[in-house]
Structure 1
Amino acid sequence: MKIKSIIVDDELIARNVLENYLKKYCPVVEVVGQAQHIKEAVPLIQSLQPQLVFMDVEMPFGNAFDILEACEGQQFETIFITAYAEYSLKALNRSAAYYILKPIDITELVAAVNKVQMAILKADEFNRTQILLENLRSKNGKQQIVLPTLQGFDVIKTESIVKLQANGNFTDVYLADGSCKMICKFLKHFDELLDEPFIRIHRSFIVNLNFIKSYSKSAGGFVTLLDGSEFEVSATYKENLLKTLGA
């Protein structure tokens, strides 16, 4: 099976280098077109109907997310190529999108293509592009996050997450409905990914500030959540917690 693909990047050299890499290291990918910006990319995607689009994040006349919005409703996987834009990386990670940092590493490229190939074969139940667009449009903080489980993926609203607890190579994510999901990621992944109202209080715990009922200074400091559970606040994170709470 060949994966019908398009490359979108404002630099001709970058497009050609990527196409050569794909021919040499990812023969399953068939590049059927190139575009240098949104004005070329949108009609090209609409006419060629690719299964996969390699897309630089920052380009003239609009960024990668503008292209996705213009092509909303069309089904294709995306591998983002980016040199920076920290805000973009968090958005991409929340939607479990594939991305590669410039300069392109061959190993990362092959891994991303393999994941896309598996996603196409498995016909994933969720649309990463749609989740990404919804998160970028969110004005009230009600965003979604894709959680990789042992069985596949779960899409969860971040506001429903009460706490996260390290569990070896996994993270236990506790939700407001009382359920718990074991996620195939270290706690550090979520510490870097989740912004306020999530805050690290211990090397093993992250909590949602909206679910904190009280803070006690006794026994070195601990927080009580609305569900009655109590967690120690380690000295490393105490100052930041008190500052955030305005205490």
Structure 2
Amino acid sequence: MIKAIIVDDEINAIKNLKWEIENFCNDITVCDTFTNPVDAISAINYLQPDCVFLDIEMPEMDGFQLLNNLNFRNFDLIITTAYENHAIQAFKEHAIDYLLKPIDSEDLIVTVQRIRDNKNRNALGDEIKSLIASYAPSKQPGRLALSLIGKTIYVAMEDIIYCKANGNYSEIYFKEAKKEMVSKKLKELESVVNQSFFRVHNSYLVNVHYIKEFVKTDGPYLLLKDGTNIPVSRSKKASLLAFLGNPI
């Protein structure tokens, strides 16, 4: 399924486009809509949609300013506007299409086919990258290959403090106080890390070398060397303590 976000300051324009998508493009799901471009920035960075239908003429911030404030840009951009004079700038921003309002159903179908074609090409590229990664230095003991947007990084497992579940994604926290997000569920990461990691909670996978304290009250929870508190599920408490060793 293709995930889409619609950004337009006119609520009726959003409703009309959403209706067109739902009735003519059944493999696209509109995961969110926004009339406020500032709110849309956070959502696009977090949800990382496959495509964004973006209006240009909006109060407070226009569509091009929104694009310049994004961290995540790995999506197909479709400009939806009542004006023709933004076309050159739209294609400088690598828009795959420019739809004039009111949006015609046939034009939308053509646009969506372009989105499908791009998604299929990207999927093939990801398969190739995964195949290469399977033979890469990450197969060395103690190393991981993490596929990020536009690149693959190779990290030592000993540099990872903990991993946190975020829906279908996982956040990885490193000892250098940096964080990366990967499109892998925590269960998938758990299957590839070494024996230094323990699943202390449904949402947390911890490198035990960074555990400073096990706190029995208020949880219980772990205090890590970087000051982070990590909850420990009651079902994991006994096995975690057995794994860490009995206190003297």
TM-score (norm 2): 0.47
Q: Which structure has the larger Rg?
A: 2
TM-score (norm 1): 0.47
